[in-house]
C-alpha cells in the first residue's frame, strides 16, 4: 500500500483525493488556495467501505502494539535492555498510524471522498506527510526484525546478520529518501498547478517508479533472508521467539513484499510502454494485503518482545553468597582455608593456630575467633 502508486500524466484513475478543479493552471502557486471537491460514492462501494473498516482496525491494532511495547523485555547479549530496538518499534508503529490516518487512500482521505467534501489543493500536503511516515515505518520495522533475529540467539548462524542489517538499512534509507524527494516534487507541482493528484508528471513518476522498484527488490530479498534464518533458528533451537518469527513475521513480510514487487513491476512496464493504464484489481489486492498483513506482523513482533529473555547469552542476575555482610577479614586476606574447604574449624587455646594464609584462628586477646561458616 505504497502512497501514490497509480496514476499518470495522461489519464487519472478514479480514486480518493482526485476531484474536480475550480482553480487555475499555472507554474506559480496561484492555484494553491483554489478549491476542489473530492470524488466518492456516498459509501455505496463495498470495496471502499471494506478498506475503510480494515484501516480503522489496523489503527486500533497498532495502538495496542504501542501499549504493549511498554512491557517489552528485549535485551542484548550483554544483558542490557535494548532501548534502541524498543524505541524503533514504537516510532515505526506511530509512523504507520499516521500513514493510515493521513496517507493517500487513508481513513481521512476516504472519509473526505465519500462525503464529497471541498478542500483547497493545500490538502495534498497531508499526502507528503503520509508518504514520509510510511517510508520511515518500512525501514525501521525491517531493521528491528533483523536485529531481533540476531539478538535472539547465540548461534553462529546469526553472526553476519548485524552487518547485513546495517548495510541494508543504509541502502534502503538512501533509496527511499530519493523516491520521497521525487514524490514531494510531484505533489508540489500538483498543488501549484491545481491538478488532480492522479495527473502526474510523467518524468517524475517514471523515475520514482524505478527507485521504488529497486527499493522493493532489496526489501523482498531481505524478507527471504528473514524467512530462511527464522526457519534455521527454529530447527536449531525451537524456542518460542523463533517459532513466532518463522510462523508469523517471516511469511507475512514475504507475501506482502512479493505482491508489492509484482505490482511495481507492472507499473514500470506501463510507464515504459506509455500505456498509462494501471490495473485497479492489482492495486486493490496490494492495498488489502498491506492493511491486513502488516498489523499482524507488528502484533507478532510485539509477541516476541513480550517473551521473557532466556538462553546462554542472556545474563542471569547472580545473588552474592554472603549477602551484604561480607566479613572484613575475607575481603582483605581471603577466607580461612578450613572455611574455604568446608572442613570443621577446631580452636586450640594453648597456642595460636595460624592458617596457611597467615590469618590467626583467635584474636590477640586470647579469645577464640568465632568464624561463621557461610554456605554459598
| Contact present, 74 and 86 (Cβ < 8 Å) | yes
- The boundaries of the domain holding residue 117 are 34-306
The C-alpha cell at 316 is 542471569
HSE (CB half, 13 Å, CA atoms) of 40? 22
**Residue 313 within a domain:** no
pLDDT in tens, 31-81: 788 888 888 888 999 999 999 999 999 999 999 999 998 888 777 665 566
Q: What is the pTM of this model?
A: 0.74
In this structure, the answer to whether residues 287 and 375 fall within a common structural domain is: no
Whether residues 249 and 347 share a domain: the answer is: no
- 140 falls within a domain: yes
How is residue 353 annotated by DSSP?
Answer: -
Domain match, 267 and 352 both: no
CA distance 245 to 157: 15
354 three-class SS: strand
Could you tell me if 85 and 121 lie in one domain?
A: yes
Claim to verify: residue 89 and residue 228 sit in the same structural domain? yes
Say yes or no: 209 and 119 in one domain.
yes
- How deeply is 287 buried, as exposed, middle or buried, from its count of CB atoms within 10 A (0-12, 13-18, 19+)? buried
Looking at the structure, do residues 58 and 163 belong to the same domain, yes or no?
yes
pLDDT tens digits, 265-282:
888 777 665 555 566 788
Domain of 111, CATH number, reads 1.20.1070
Q: Are 233 and 153 in contact (CB under 8 A)?
A: yes
Question: Model confidence over 306-317: pLDDT tens digits?
Answer: 886 654 444 333
Sign of the CA dihedral running 341, 343, 344, 345: negative
pLDDT at 292: 95
Residues 348 and 228 in one domain: no
Distance CA 248, CA 103 (A): 26
Rounded to whole angstroms, the Cα distance separating 212 from 176 reads: 7
In a domain, 2, yes or no: no
**Does 47 lie in the same domain as 108?**
yes
Quick check: is 48 in a domain?
yes
* pLDDT level of residue 295 (50, 70, 90 thresholds): very high
Do 270 and 360 sit in the same domain of this protein? no
Q: How far apart are CA 288 and CA 269, in angstroms?
A: 22
Contact residues for 248 (Cβ-Cβ < 8 A; gap 6+): 296, 297, 300, 303
Confidence of residue 318 (pLDDT cuts 50, 70, 90): very low
Residues 97 and 164 reside in one and the same domain: yes
Query: How many domains in the chain?
Result: 2
How many CA atoms are closer than 13 Å to the CA of 281, on its beta-carbon side?
Answer: 0
What's the rounded Cα separation, in Å, for the pair 376 and 362?
24
Same domain, 184 and 302: yes
Of 306, 332, 352, the one marking the end of a domain is 306
Q: Is residue 301 within a helix (H) or strand (E), and if so which, with residue range?
A: helix 280-306
Asked if the structure places residue 8 within a domain, the reply is no
Amino acid at each position: 500500500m505504497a502512497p501514490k502508486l497509480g496514476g499518470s500524466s495522461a489519464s487519472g484513475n478514479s480514486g480518493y483525493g482526485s476531484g474536480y478543479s475550480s482553480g487555475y493552471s499555472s507554474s506559480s502557486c496561484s492555484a494553491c488556495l483554489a478549491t476542489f471537491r473530492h470524488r466518492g460514492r456516498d459509501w455505496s462501494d463495498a470495496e471502499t467501505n471494506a478498506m475503510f473498516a480494515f484501516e480503522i482496525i489496523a489503527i486500533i491494532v497498532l495502538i495496542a502494539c504501542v501499549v504493549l511495547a511498554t512491557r517489552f523485555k528485549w535485551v542484548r547479549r550483554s544483558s542490557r535492555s535494548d532501548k534502541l530496538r524498543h524505541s524503533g518499534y514504537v516510532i515505526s508503529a506511530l509512523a504507520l498510524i499516521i500513514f493510515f490516518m493521513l496517507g493517500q487512500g487513508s481513513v481521512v482521505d476516504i472519509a473526505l471522498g465519500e462525503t464529497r467534501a471541498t478542500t483547497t489543493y493545500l490538502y495534498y500536503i497531508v499526502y507528503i506527510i503520509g508518504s514520509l511516515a510510511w517510508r520511515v515505518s518500512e525501514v525501521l520495522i525491517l531493521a528491528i526484525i533483523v536485529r531481533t533475529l540476531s539478538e535472539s540467539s547465540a548461534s553462529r548462524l546469526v553472526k553476519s546478520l548485524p552487518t547485513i542489517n546495517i548495510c541494508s538499512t543504509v541502502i534502503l534509507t538512501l533509496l527511499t529518501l530519493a523516491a520521497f524527494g521525487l514524490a514531494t516534487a510531484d505533489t508540489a507541482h500538483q498543488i501549484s498547478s491545481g491538478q488532480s493528484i492522479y495527473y502526474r508528471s510523467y518524468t517524475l513518476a517514471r523515475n520514482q517508479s524505478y527507485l521504488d522498484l529497486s527499493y522493493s527488490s532489496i526489501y523482498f530479498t531481505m524478507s527471504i533472508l528473514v524467512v530462511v534464518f527464522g526457519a534455521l533458528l527454529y530447527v536449531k533451537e525451537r524456542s518460542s521467539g523463533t517459532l513466532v518469527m518463522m510462523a508469523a513475521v517471516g511469511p507475512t513480510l514475504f507475501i506482502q513484499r512479493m505482491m508489492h514487487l509484482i505490482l511495481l513491476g507492472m507499473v514500470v512496464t506501463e510507464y515504459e510502454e506509455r500505456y498509462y493504464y494501471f490495473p485497479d484489481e492489482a492495486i486493490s489486492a496490494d492495498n488489502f494485503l498491506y492493511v491486513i498483513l502488516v498489523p499482524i506482523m507488528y502484533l507478532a513482533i510485539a509477541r516476541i518482545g513480550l517473551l521473557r529473555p532466556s538462553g546462554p547469552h542472556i545474563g542471569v542476575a547472580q545473588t552474592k553468597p554472603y549477602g551484604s555482610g561480607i566479613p572484613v577479614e575475607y575481603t582483605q586476606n581471603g577466607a580461612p582455608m578450613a572455611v574455604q574447604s568446608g572442613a570443621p574449624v577446631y580452636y586450640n587455646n594453648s597456642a595460636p593456630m595460624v592458617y596457611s594464609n597467615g590469618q590467626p584462628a583467635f584474636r590477640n586477646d586470647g579469645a577464640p575467633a568465632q568464624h561463621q561458616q557461610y554456605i554459598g
